[in-house]
Amino acid sequence: MEFGISSSKLFYLFIFGCFALNASTYYGSNAQLIPDDEVRILKAISSKIANLNWNVTSRSCIDGGFKNKAIDIDNFIIRNVTCNCSFSSGKVCHVTNIYVTGINLSGILPSEFGYLTHLQELDLTYNSLNGSIPKSFSRLPLVALRLTGNPISSQIPTEIGEITTLEDLELVDNLLEGTIPSSFGKLKLLSKLDLSGNNFSGALPEGFGNLKKLEYIALDGSNITGNLQDFIGNWTELTTLYLQGTSLQGPIPTTISQLTNLTVLYISDLLGPATMRFPNLKNLTSLQQLVLRNCSINDFIPSYIGEMVHLDTLDLSFNKLIGEIPNNINDLTSLTYMFLNENSLSGKVPEWILQNEDDYFDLSYNNFSETSAPNCQYNNVNLASSLSSSAKTSHACLKRGLPCEGKPKYHSLFINCGGPEIEYDGNKYEGDTNPGSISSFFLSDDKWAYSSTGIYWGRSDYKYLVTNEFSLNINGPDFYQTARLSPLSLKYQGLCMINGNYNVKLHFAEIMYSNDRNLSGLGRRIFDVSIQGRKYLRDFNIIKEAGGVGKGIVKDFNVDVNNNTLEIHLYWAGKGTYYVPDNAINGPLISAISVSPNFKIERNSAGAIAGIVIGSCLFLIMLIVFVLRRMAFLGGKDSKDKQLSDLETGYFSFKQIKDATNNFAPENKIGEGGFGPVYKGVLSNGVIIAVKQLSSKSKQGNREFVNEIGMISALQHPNLVKLYGCCIEGNQLLLIYEYMENNSLANALFRSQGPKIHLDWPTRMKICVEIARGLAYLHEESRLKIVHRDIKATNVLLSKDFSAKISDFGLAKLDEENTHISTRIAGTIGYMAPEYATRGYLTDKADVYSFGVVALEIVSGKRNTSYRPNEEFVYLLDWAYVLQEKGSLLDLVDPSLGSSYSSQEAMRMLEVALLCANPSHSLRPSMSSVVFMLEGKLLIQAPIIKPRESDQDARGEAFEITSSQDSHSQTFNSSTKSHENVEQSVDAMDGPLSRDNHSQTFASFAFSDERVEQGVDVMDGPSTNSFISLPSKYFSPSSRLLKDSN
**Average pLDDT of the chain to the nearest whole number:** 80
Compute the average pLDDT of residues 1001-1022.
30
| pLDDT of res. 859 | 95
Out of 333-347, 883-897, 928-942, least confident range: 928-942
Q: Is the pLDDT of residue 245 over 50?
A: yes
790 is catalytic: yes
Give, in order, the Cα–Cα distances in Å from 453 to each of 179, 807, 813: 34, 41, 40
Residue whose C-alpha is closest to residue 262's, from 244, 291, 287? 287
The pLDDT > 70 percentage for the chain reads 74
Higher pLDDT among residues 275 and 183, named by residue: 183
| pLDDT of res. 529 | 96
| pLDDT of res. 8 | 54
Out of 523-527, 555-559, 607-611, 961-965, least confident range: 961-965
Model confidence band, residue 733 (pLDDT cutoffs 50, 70, 90): confident
Model confidence band, residue 446 (pLDDT cutoffs 50, 70, 90): confident
| pLDDT of res. 119 | 98
Distance CA(289)–CA(862), nearest Å, equals 50
| pLDDT of res. 709 | 65
| pLDDT of res. 808 | 74
- Active-site choice (194, 230, 315, 790): 790
- 98-147 per-position pLDDT tens digit: 999 988 899 999 999 999 999 999 999 999 999 999 999 999 999 999 99
| pLDDT of res. 36 | 95
Distance CA(106)–CA(49), nearest Å, equals 6
Q: Is the pLDDT of residue 504 over 80?
A: yes
Q: Is the pLDDT of residue 61 over 80?
A: yes
Compute the average pLDDT of residues 92-97.
95
Q: Is the pLDDT of residue 776 over 50?
A: yes
400 C-beta neighbours (distance < 10 Å), count? 19
Query: Which domains, and CATH codes, for the chain?
Result: 321-401 (no CATH), 413-597 (2.60.120.430), 643-738 (3.30.200.20), 745-954 (1.10.510.10)
Q: Is the pLDDT of residue 1007 over 90?
A: no
| pLDDT of res. 602 | 67
Distance CA(164)–CA(183), nearest Å, equals 10
Q: Is the pLDDT of residue 625 over 90?
A: no
| pLDDT of res. 271 | 85
Q: Is the pLDDT of residue 567 over 80?
A: yes
| pLDDT of res. 25 | 41
Model confidence band, residue 583 (pLDDT cutoffs 50, 70, 90): low
| pLDDT of res. 218 | 97
| pLDDT of res. 674 | 54
Distance CA(771)–CA(745), nearest Å, equals 11
Q: Which residues, in sequence order, are CB contacts of 432 under 8 Å at separation 6+?
A: 415, 416, 417, 418, 419, 444, 450, 484
DSSP-derived 3-state class of residue 910 = helix
Residue whose C-alpha is closest to residue 363's, from 342, 334, 389? 342
Q: What is the DSSP string of 804-860?
A: EEE---TT-EEESS-SS--S-EEEETTTS-HHHHHH----THHHHHHHHHHHHHHHH
Contact predicate 104/80, CB 8 Å: no
One-letter identity of residue 178: G
One-letter identity of residue 758: H
Residue whose C-alpha is closest to residue 34's, from 9, 12, 56? 56
| pLDDT of res. 743 | 86
Sign of CA dihedral 1003, 1004, 1010, 1011: positive
- 460-479 per-position pLDDT tens digit: 667 899 888 666 678 788 89
What is the end-to-end Cα distance of the chain in Å, rounded? 137
Compute the average pLDDT of residues 725-729.
79
Q: Which residues, in sequence order, are CB contacts of 42 under 8 Å at separation 6+?
A: 34, 54, 56, 60, 95, 116
| pLDDT of res. 5 | 53
**CA 191 centroid distance within chain:** 24
Distance CA(109)–CA(176), nearest Å, equals 14
- 852-887 per-position pLDDT tens digit: 999 999 999 998 877 666 656 567 888 888 888 888
- 635-693 per-position pLDDT tens digit: 444 444 444 444 444 678 889 999 999 999 999 998 776 557 889 999 887 888 999 88
Q: What is the DSSP string of 985-1045?
A: HHHHT--EEEEETTTTEEE-----HHHHHHTTTS---S---------GGGG-GGGTT----
Model confidence band, residue 631 (pLDDT cutoffs 50, 70, 90): very low
